[in-house]
Amino acid sequence: MSVITCKDVTKHYRSKKALNNLSFTIEGEKITGIIGRNGAGKTTILKILAGFLEATSGEVKIFDEKPFNNIMVSANSIYIDDQMTLPSSLTLAEILKTASNFYENWNTALADGLFNYFSLDPSQYHCNLSKGMKSTFNMILGLSSRCQLTIFDEPTTGMDAAVRKDFYRALLKDYIAYPRTILLSSHHLDEVEDLLEDVLLMKDGQLHLHIPISELKEYATSVKGKRTILEKWIRNKEVIHRSDLGAETTYAVVKNNSAVLLQLDNARHEGLDISPVNSSDLCVYLTSDTKGGIDDVFS
């Protein structure tokens, strides 16, 4: 069953088009990474899915209903980001208590356990927390709600590396215990890729890729070596990225297909270095407007 359906979704902010005929579906009980550069439209589509914004055109369905201004969708979904504003008159303990009365699947034991683990003060106010501690508290809200649709938009902003690792581990353990649809937007793809089942890669408000993470890891191959040999070898292949590493050496990333894979041994015999491309770098290359790197500016 599709929890999320988007068809030809467009969103305008005055003259700027943040989303441009974006279409995709997401099945239930999956963790999907929403990946893309700043300005790709990630936050816009996530806020539309959460019902915070209304699309300019196109069709959006969450649980087969339009999410905007929909109490059923609101009761069964939660949107977490680093810009959350929570009541300044309520302490952290009171916010958790209020949330427990709203979300049907709220897990008090999980909320209390995480709250104590991260040494939060129940009498503290959300507005007085540091950026990192705000993100930590917001994460507790998102996990403990156990909503059928849980959206984390850059949830680790301000967290140090140790807290990020704890968050990812807590997310995975609770997802295994209570499967639901989780969307996770992050700039740290290298940190979250082991959590993800699918990746939705966006560029310029459009869908660039929507594939299982296993396919993304096998999507391309990097080739490095003497420029004259490499240029000949990559001819007639789909080059995703290319940059010069000196006077005689070139680095390229090519999309895998059956023909490329059959020619890798030949490339090695010709003296080229062949290696896989990590998912984070690949997403950067795929969403770049140029084939080269920053060093080419100084060539």
Question: Given this model, what pLDDT does residue 80 score?
Answer: 97
Average pLDDT in the 112-134 region?
96
* 253-297 pLDDT tens trace: 999 999 899 999 999 999 999 999 999 999 999 998 765 556 665
Which strands, in side-by-side order, build the sheet including 220-226? 239-244, 249-255, 220-226, 273-276
* 3-48 pLDDT tens trace: 999 999 999 998 889 999 999 999 999 999 999 988 899 999 999 9
Average pLDDT in the 81-85 region?
90
Question: Given this model, what pLDDT does residue 247 score?
Answer: 81
Q: Bridge partners of 203?
A: 206
Strand 57-62 to strand 2-13: parallel, antiparallel, or no bridges (unpaired)? Answer: antiparallel
* 207-255 pLDDT tens trace: 999 999 999 999 999 999 999 999 999 999 999 999 998 889 999 999 9
Give the domain 2-216 fold: Rossmann fold (3.40.50)
pTM of the shown model: 0.92
3-state SS, the chain, equals: CEEEEEEEEEEEECCEEEEEEEEEEEECCCEEEEECCCCCCHHHHHHHHCCCCCCCEEEEEECCECCCCCHHHHHCEEEECCCCCCCCCCEHHHHHHHHHHHCCCCCHHHHHHHHHHCCCCCCCEHHHCCHHHHHHHHHHHHHHHCCCEEEEECCCCCCCHHHHHHHHHHHHHHHHHCCCEEEEECCCHHHHCCCCCEEEEEECCEEEEEEEHHHHHCCEEEEEEEHHHHHHHCCCCCEEEEEECCCCEEEEEEECCHHHHHCHHHHHHCCCEEEECCHHHHHHHHCCCCCCCHHHHHC
* 128-167 pLDDT tens trace: 999 999 999 999 999 999 999 999 999 998 999 999 999 9
Q: What is the C-alpha separation between 47 and 62, in angstroms, rounded?
A: 12
Question: Given this model, what pLDDT does residue 187 score?
Answer: 73
Tokens at residue 281, please? 């770098």
* 164-212 pLDDT tens trace: 999 999 999 999 999 999 999 987 788 899 999 999 999 999 999 999 9
